[in-house]
Amino acid sequence: MNSVTSTQDTIQHGSDQGHDSHHGPAKGIKRWLYTTNHKDIGSLYLWFAFIMFLVGGAMAMVIRAELFQPGLQIVEPHFFNQMTTVHGLIMVFGAVMPAFTGLANWMIPMMIGAPDMALPRMNNLSFWILPFAFLILLASLFVEGGGPAFGWTFYAPLSTTYSGDSTALFVFSVHIMGISSIMGAINVIVTIWNMRAPGMTWFKLPLFVWTWLITAFLLIAVMPVLAGAVTMVLTDKYFGTSFFDAAGGGDPVMFQHIFWFFGHPEVYIMILPAFGIISTIVPAFSRKKLFGYTSMVYATVSIALLSFLVWAHHMFTTGMPVYAELFFMYCTMLISVPTGVKVFNWVATMWRGAISYEVPMLFSLAFIVLFTFGGFSGLMLAITPVDFQYHDTYFVVAHFHYVLVTGAIFSLIAAAYYWLPKWTGVMYDVGLAKLHFWCSLISVNVLFFPMHFVGLAGMPRRIPDYSIQFADWNQIISLGGFAFGLSQLIFLALVIKACRKQGEPVADKVWDGAEGLEWTVASPAPYHTFTTPPKIQD
């Protein structure tokens, strides 16, 4: 039955592919260096993000190896600090954000029926400056005095008065990352705004497109503020200004306000596209329309707006007036309302659906459950009086790894399993994929769940040593960490196999319940799609 539909599609779109022959991909390395094709650039972003994920993961392995036992065994404390810092920077700016940008490049033009991104040359530039940013960041680990060791949040005065010579490199690389993501965001907005196929009205947009549009606006709003913060750190350290130096009339606490004005919206930059992915996959494998499409859109907008009103929940212990603490506490709790709407909608979509458990669906289900765990621990952290106990402990580490690993990363893996057959034209090794799922699911919980316990018991974060009573749980956490790290190598092997086209060829519409324009083009997706705009049915 599947093949019947696909033949029809091929006939329908045969005319699309006929005139592609005059402009196929160039050969060799030049194809990738000079490409302005959204699919090529998408692939570059995704591979870059995957490599960075493995590099940042390797640093996490160093951290977990050191924490396997109390006392100092493997690395110096100063190097440990560099590892926690660079692990965080790489995972946020090198893995999660570029991976979402890669998906946006691949899927948004295909989902809205556009031939390419609106600004293809800028697209090429925004990708190709990224590797340099991370080469600079990684190179900073090898300069004398070591790389950045002040945490990914680079609080002043740690990053100004007490930082090493590599700080200039750190600032420079963050600037490049920022420019890259701003260019990417501009491209996404212009594409969605101006390039939709005729008939693709705002409320017909797939949710992945909606969530990315809102994410792009968040990026434009806060990445420049981050750029400002690193610039102030730079001038404080090297040019004698005193933005954050009390001796010169500045205020180190102000750094935290500026940083978290960027930092809290940043966490939604990393999760809103994930909501879009889950809202795409869950209906496909429940064989039902998404429950509450419009409420999903409005929930996303309200999360984005609220994200500007909650930054100081990261700073409850800095001694704010009580009414300010209450304000930020209630605003933070308010965010759980639109987020709850989303979780409710996903569950309602599955309700009485004809659910099947293909690998993308397995990862999406794990996302819904485990992201909600992360949301609950976030709600606990939002309560000001108890935050005084949780602050800077492993409880916080557990919280944000639940929302970022089992949230953002799981959604990215789900997206990869969902669209990989469309990209490569072959079905990946499903056995291997299921192995990857179960290994990841079990190990990620062994890794992060006990962190709640040691955190509540008072184990501080970012310290290479700990009291003896935390030893058992830390051993278990480290074992879970190693297992989770190794499990991702299964994924690497699977993706390489699929890219070499080892597997059964797939139909155009890979999943029978899937909806969207991307399934109307051939598999693998031809180099150019929708050079003539598709017809949008109601």
- Whether 461 is a known active-site residue: answer yes
CA distance 430 to 395: 35
Which range binds Cu ion by CB under 5 A, 68-76, 182-190, 243-251, 260-268?
260-268
- Whether 342 is a known active-site residue: answer yes
- Whether 181 is a known active-site residue: answer yes
CA distance 428 to 295: 34
Q: Which is nearer to other proteins, 154 or 400 (CB)?
A: 154
Show the 3-state SS of 242-296.
CCCCHHHCCCHHHHHHHHHHHHHHHHHHCCHHHHHHHHHHHHHHHCCCCCCHHHH
Place of tokens 């609106």: 118
Q: Which of 193, 238, 298, 351 binds other proteins (CB under 8 A)?
A: 193
Q: Which does 189 bind (CB under 5 to 8 A by kind): other proteins, Cu ion, none?
A: other proteins
- Whether 152 is a known active-site residue: answer yes
- Whether 509 is a known active-site residue: answer no
Q: Which of 45, 80, 212, 243 binds other proteins (CB under 8 A)?
A: 243
Place of tokens 């205020």: 251
Which range binds other proteins by CB under 8 A, 145-153, 202-210, 257-265, 448-456?
257-265
- The size of the interface with other proteins (CB under 8 A), counted in residues, is 43
449, two tokens = 């769940």
Which range binds Cu ion by CB under 5 A, 182-190, 215-223, 261-269, 399-407?
261-269
- Burial (CB count <10 Å: 0-12, 13-18, 19+), residue 446: middle
Give backbone dihedrals phi and psi of 269, rounded to 5 degrees, phi first: -60, -35
Q: Which of 4, 11, 247, 354 binds other proteins (CB under 8 A)?
A: 247
CA distance 133 to 116: 26
Does 261 help bind other proteins (rule: CB under 8 A)? yes
Q: Which is nearer to Cu ion, 118 or 222 (CB)?
A: 222
For the bound state, the minimum distance from the C-beta of residue 285 to other proteins, rounded and expressed in Å, comes to 33
Q: Which is nearer to other proteins, 26 or 186 (CB)?
A: 186
Q: Which does 254 bind (CB under 5 to 8 A by kind): Cu ion, other proteins, none?
A: other proteins
CA distance 192 to 114: 9
Q: Which is nearer to Cu ion, 262 or 470 (CB)?
A: 262
CA distance 61 to 291: 40
Which range binds other proteins by CB under 8 A, 163-171, 187-195, 415-423, 458-466?
187-195
- Candidates 248, 145, 133, 240; CA nearest to 180 is 133
Concatenated DSSP letters for 293-343?
Answer: HHHHHHHHHHHHHHGGG-GGGG-GGGT--HHHHHHHHHHHHHHHHHHHHHH
Q: Which of 10, 129, 251, 343 binds other proteins (CB under 8 A)?
A: 251
Q: Measure Cα distances from 301 to 188, 276, 404, 435 in Å.
A: 17, 12, 20, 37
- Candidates 184, 187, 50; CA nearest to 126 is 184
For the bound state, the minimum distance from the C-beta of residue 528 to other proteins, rounded and expressed in Å, comes to 6
Show the 3-state SS of 370-389.
HHHHHHHHHHHHHCHHHHHH
Concatenated DSSP letters for 104-170?
Answer: HHHHHHHHHT-SS-S-HHHHHHHHHTHHHHHHHHHHGGGSTT-S--STTTT-TTTTTTT--TTHHHH
**Residue tagged active-site, from 45, 106, 212, 268:** 268
CA distance 422 to 523: 5
CA distance 292 to 498: 35
Does 83 help bind other proteins (rule: CB under 8 A)? no
- Whether 314 is a known active-site residue: answer yes
Which range binds other proteins by CB under 8 A, 113-121, 132-140, 282-290, 387-395?
113-121
Does 221 help bind other proteins (rule: CB under 8 A)? yes
Say if CB 69 and CB 151 are below 8 A apart. no
Contact flags string 445-474 toward other proteins, x per CB under 8 A:
------------------------------
Does 264 help bind Cu ion (rule: CB under 5 A)? yes
8-state DSSP, 426: B
- Whether 452 is a known active-site residue: answer no
Does 399 help bind Cu ion (rule: CB under 5 A)? no
From the CB of residue 337, how many other CB atoms can be counted at a distance below 10 Å? 12
Q: Which does 264 bind (CB under 5 to 8 A by kind): Cu ion, other proteins, none?
A: Cu ion
For the bound state, the minimum distance from the C-beta of residue 224 to other proteins, rounded and expressed in Å, comes to 4
Q: Which of 33, 58, 254, 369 binds other proteins (CB under 8 A)?
A: 254
Does residue 158 sit in helix, strand or coil? coil
**Residue tagged active-site, from 43, 180, 384, 406:** 180
Does 521 help bind other proteins (rule: CB under 8 A)? no
Does 305 help bind other proteins (rule: CB under 8 A)? no
Q: Which is nearer to other proteins, 220 or 380 (CB)?
A: 220
Percent helix, strand and coil across the chain, each to the nearest 5: 75, 0, 25
Q: Which is nearer to other proteins, 145 or 248 (CB)?
A: 248
63, two tokens = 């951290």
- Whether 264 is a known active-site residue: answer yes
List of residues contacting other proteins (CB under 8 A): 19, 23, 115, 118-119, 182, 185-186, 189-190, 193-195, 220-229, 232, 243, 246-247, 251, 253-254, 257-258, 261, 318-321, 324, 528, 530-533
List of residues contacting Cu ion (CB under 5 A): 264
Q: What are the residue numbers of the active site? A: 87, 116, 152, 180-181, 264, 266, 268, 279, 313-314, 339, 342, 461
